[in-house]
Structure formats: structure tokens, C-alpha cells
Structure 1
Amino acid sequence: MLPASTVSSAEASPAAPLNYFLHAAGPAATPTMYLGWVFAAISTLVALLIAGLLIGALLRKRPAAPAEDLHAEAGGMRWIYVGTGISSVVLLAMLVYLLVTLESVASPASYPQLTITVTSYDWWWKADYGGDPNPARNFSTANEIHIPVGEPVKIQLKSADVIHTFWVPQLAGKTETIPGQTNEQWIQADRAGIYRGQCSQFCGAQHAHMAFEVVAQDPAAFSAWRDAQGRAASVPTGDAAVAAGKHLFDERCAGCHAIRGSDANGQQAPDLTHLGSRRTLAAGMLANTPDHLLDWIQHAQQIKPDGLMPSIALSANEAAALSAYLATLQ
């Protein structure tokens, strides 16, 4: 698990609701946060103004003159002219502000040195760290994206099945992942912390349970994490239970999951090489504990119906052996 020093206070807690989009934590999100506040204020002001005019009209006494005597010169059209003029100016100013904001977040101030390819699946996220001259630092992980604090990070977005949307409210706006197309986004965190992300494009039965986390660490901690993640899993020796668990994994799980350093090289499910280092399971649904892990393996279809992960029946001895092996994947 992550040392406490790598994360910030509860302000960036992954347990916090997604209304944290009201509080930005990076330069890609701050301008749009201000834009949202300004547009919300203008919309509120317009709603109050219209409500006030409506109340005034309802309370105003009818004129004594017959209706046919009410003509344009009575002053009614002046309200329309003034209202149309003010509305046009305000809407034009909002459009200009919107375009300026979009331009300000279109690209980072400096070229990103780190590129992460994120591929969306029904219903989880694969993160590929590549491009490093040292092949040992190129690897895949799932549902947990680590980035260095204070540095822009380029995110290449792909989809393996349907349209999803990548969204980390405190770090950036939404960008769709579309099958057969690669979209791009950049994120940057100004402070260490754990930032909740979510698919925000309806994509199927478990759309609401397709979350991920962005873990922002100081550069030294991030480099150490990347070095550790790049290492292959250790080969279990000497422990009969662990050996039995590995054999069971190879028989029932290796067709979908990969573990670097072993014969498991499945491509359709998360890479489990360093499963124990992750905070959550099942795309944010469960805390990563031994009990939750076994519960997920044995009851995946009850926990996440219609997911591609099947529920796997295990005897008590098989569960103990598989748990012992998976515990070695740190």
C-alpha cells in the first residue's frame, strides 16, 4: 500500500464525492472551475431578474384604459429593446470568456515528459506507462494512475469496446474515449493527493461502478513507484500453499490476467503483477484487502453484475492457496 507521506489530507480523499469539481487542484482544471462559477452566477442573476419582473407584472394594477389604447408608445417596447441589448452583450461576453478559457487549457505551459495511454473497458481502466528508454520502466496497471506533482502529464485515451468518458474533476475536464480513435488530454496536480476519477458517459450496466484514482506524488516518490512497478513478480519458492495457489491461478485466471515474470499473459483483464500495491479492487468498488479480494473472485457477478469477470467457485483449501499466492504480488 502507499505510504501515508505520498498523499495529502482528506481534502483530496478518494472517498470524497465528485462535487469536488468545485475545487480545482491543477492548472488544467482551475480556469474551467472559475468559468463554471461565473456562468453559475450569471445564470442565477438572470433567473432572479426574470422572477422579479414576473412578480412585478403580477402585482401591477391593470390600467384603466381599454386594451386597444395600449400601444408601443406606452413604453412596453422599451423594455424589450433594453433587455435584448443587455442580453446580447452578456451572451457575447460569455462566449468570448468561454473561448479564452478553452484556449488556456488546450495545452500545458511546458511539454509533458510523461505520456500515459489509458484504455477504457467495460468496466475498468487500463493504464500503460511506456516510452521510457529503460524497458523495465514500461508496464501496465489498472484503475490507478500515478503522476508526479507539479508536472504536466499527457493522457492518450482509447476505448476497447464502447464510448466512455475520462474525467478527473479536480484535475481536468472530460474527454471521450472512442473505439478506433485516440483522443488526448493533459492533467497536472499542484499538490500530492488522491483524486477520484469517473466514467461520465453512460456505457452500460456498471457505468456508475467504473471509477479510478489518480495518485499524485512528489517526483522522487513517483520515480520509486515506477521502478517498483516495472519489476516482474517474484517467483514463489518453498511455500506449498503459495505454489498451489500459483498453479490454481495459471489454470483458472491466466487466460484473462497477466503477471509479468510468470506464464500468465492474458490481455482482456487487469495486469495483476503488483496487485497488492493498489488501493482498490473492481474499478473502485472495494478496498483492496485479502477478504475483499477473495469475495470479489468468488462473487464477482453478485458484486458487479454483467461484468466480464466470472464468479469462480473455490473450496476452502483452494481459496486459502489462491489468497496466499496473490498476497505475494506486491
Structure 2
Amino acid sequence: MAVARLFWVMAIAGALIWAAVIGTLIYATRERRRVQSEHAAGLLILWGGAIIPALLLGLLLGYALWLMPDIRPWSAPGEPAGLRIEVEGEQFWWRVRYHPADGPPVDAANEIRLPVGERVEFTLTSSDVIHSFWIPVLGGKMDMIPGRTNRLTLRAAKTGTYRGPCTEFCGTSHALMAFSVVVMEPDAFRDWLADEARPSPGAGAPGGELFIANGCPACHTVRGTEATGAVGPDLSHVGSRETLAAGIMPVDVEAIASFISKPDAIKPGAQMPAFGMLPEADIAAIAAYLEGLK
């Protein structure tokens, strides 16, 4: 809401200033020419070129700074530590780790869930090239720079599902690098986070043995199994996410099987190797297994 208010105030002020400038220009071109005294010309330059623009810019800047606590809701002195979410940009996906104040870290990927009405601190970095993190409905963007950690605080005002893009060109599949943002009621969020920390009920389902046997644990983690890889996204609850492959596909068996078979065709430049050489039945079984990790 604060971002929207700032936008409309700036837009209206800009329109008024534009109208005043154009009106003055029209008046100057149509008014009968007459000689202005040096004193009058000096006053016009002083007020029209210096004092009035400085006052207008000062007022707009002051209003923006007044809104800043809502746009960047930093913590007040003495406020207890809340949820911190660590997000690392990689070509072309998002590594996400939740740091609750009262529990161990919880890993996820390509989706962020937030409790409504609570301040959340994000720590943002990158492992390869510069990315940029942006949730348009919540606040401005922040760059993710290799070797540096930037901090951003946001507070969601209402529940819902939103979309966040990478806003810094980062390679071939830059346009295919997004994430879902799900804002939940605080109690529902805490229940979800507790479930996320545990293995999925489907971790031991059929198809898991094929996932293990074909080398997937070298890169991916599925809690409750021997898959503990950390190169690629954590797949412990991939079936419960809003999207697949960082915001570009639905989470269903067909889409998962397609990405397993030819990831580089779907997301050019993706680091995951293609497994299209596997029998179709094995690919379908692995896809069904992953879709069942709720």
C-alpha cells in the first residue's frame, strides 16, 4: 500500500509540474512580446528555476522518506528477532532457507512463504552472477551480488499468492527465473514451516528407488531418504509448491517428466543434465514420486 501511495503521489505531482511547464510555455509563445526588466527577469529565474523546484523536490523527498518505514519496515530498538529468510540466486533458480527465531533452519527452493502482518528479514546473495530479488506487491528490488550479503525487510499486509521475478539480466534463461510468494495467516504459516522441516509422507513411496539409483541424490535432497545433495534445489516437498522449475511450469507428473527428460530445452543454460536416455516408464515413475512429495 505504501508503494502504491508513493507511486500515485509522484505520478500526480509529475503531471501537475508537466502541466505547469507546458502552460508557461504556451503563455510565453502567445503573449505579446515586451521587454522585461533585469530585476523581473532575475526574480523569474530565481523563483522559477531554483526556489520553487527545490521546494517541490524537497516536499516529494520528505514524503518518500516519511513512507520509508512502511516500504522498508526495519525493526524497532528492542524488538525481538523474528523470521529471517536467506535467499541465494543461482542460474536459474532460487535457494531458500528459513531461519525461524525458535527453531533450526529449513531448506526449500523457488518459493517463499510469509506470515501476514509480520516483519521478515531477507538476507540476499548470489553464488555465480548478479541477480536481483523483487516482490513487486511488497516493496522495491534488491540486488544479489556474489561475495556480498544485502539485507531487505518486508511486511505483507494481506494474504494471497504473488509472483517475484529476477530483475537483473543473469544469462540465457533470465526471463525464466521467477518464484512464487505465498502469504499466509501466521498460525497456518507456522504449521506449514513445521511440516516443511519434516520428511514428506511420500518420501518412501514407489519411484524413490529409481530416483536414488539414477544419481539424483548427487545434486538434490529429499528429507527422510539418502538423497542429501546440495548442488541443485531441495526437492523434499516439491509436490506441494505452486510452480516447477522456478516459476515456469505447473507441478504435475507430465511437466516433471518433461523437465527430467530435457531440462536444457525447457530452460536453456540449466545445469541439470538431461535424463531422456532413461526408459519412459522409469521417467514417469520418478516424476510421479516427486509429484507425491507434498
**Does TM-score exceed 0.5, indicating one fold?**
yes
Q: CA deviation at 1:272?
A: 0.3
Matched, 1:53 2:24: yes
Q: Which residue of 2 aligns with 1:18?
A: none
- CA–CA distance in structure 2, aligned partners of residues 56 and 71 of structure 1: 15
Q: Which residue of 2 aligns with 1:102?
A: 68
Q: CA deviation at 1:312?
A: 2.2
More divergent stretch after superposition (293-302 vs 72-81): 72-81
Matched, 1:262 2:219: no
Q: Which residue of 1 aligns with 2:176?
A: 209
- CA–CA distance in structure 2, aligned partners of residues 127 and 282 of structure 1: 14
TM-score where L is the length of structure 1: 0.79
- Would the aligned equivalents of 1:117 and 1:127 in 2 still touch at CA under 8 Å? yes
Deviations 1:164-211 (A, max 9, x none): 221112112222222122221112222211122122222222222221
Q: CA deviation at 1:52?
A: 2.1
Give the alignment of 1:35-54 within 5 angstroms.
35-54=6-25
Q: Which residue of 2 aligns with 1:121?
A: 90
- Would the aligned equivalents of 1:280 and 1:286 in 2 still touch at CA under 8 Å? yes
Gap runs ≥5 in structure 1: 1-23, 25-29, 64-69
- The sequence identity of aligned pairs, in percent, is 37
Give the alignment of 1:191-270 within 5 angstroms.
191-233=158-200, 234-236=202-204, 242-243=206-207, 246-270=209-233
TM-score where L is the length of structure 2: 0.87
- Would the aligned equivalents of 1:212 and 1:284 in 2 still touch at CA under 8 Å? yes
Corresponding letter in the other structure for 2:90 = Y
- CA–CA distance in structure 2, aligned partners of residues 194 and 217 of structure 1: 9
Deviations 1:270-289 (A, max 9, x none): 10011111010111111111
Q: CA RMSD in A?
A: 2.4
Secondary structure at 2:264's aligned position in 1?
helix
Matched, 1:164 2:136: no
- CA–CA distance in structure 1, aligned partners of residues 203 and 24 of structure 2: 76
Q: Which residue of 1 aligns with 2:287?
A: 323
Deviations 1:228-272 (A, max 9, x none): 1111245536xxxx24x5334442322211111222222121100
Corresponding letter in the other structure for 2:164 = G
Q: Which residue of 1 aligns with 2:249?
A: 286
Ranked by relative contact order (alpha carbons within 8 Å, sequence separation 6 or more), the top structure is 1
When the two structures are aligned, how many residues end up with a matched partner?
Answer: 288
- CA–CA distance in structure 1, aligned partners of residues 55 and 47 of structure 2: 11
Change (3 A) 1:189 1:112: farther
- Would the aligned equivalents of 1:114 and 1:154 in 2 still touch at CA under 8 Å? yes
Change (3 A) 1:112 1:210: farther
Deviations 1:276-319 (A, max 9, x none): 11010111111111111112222221221112233321322222
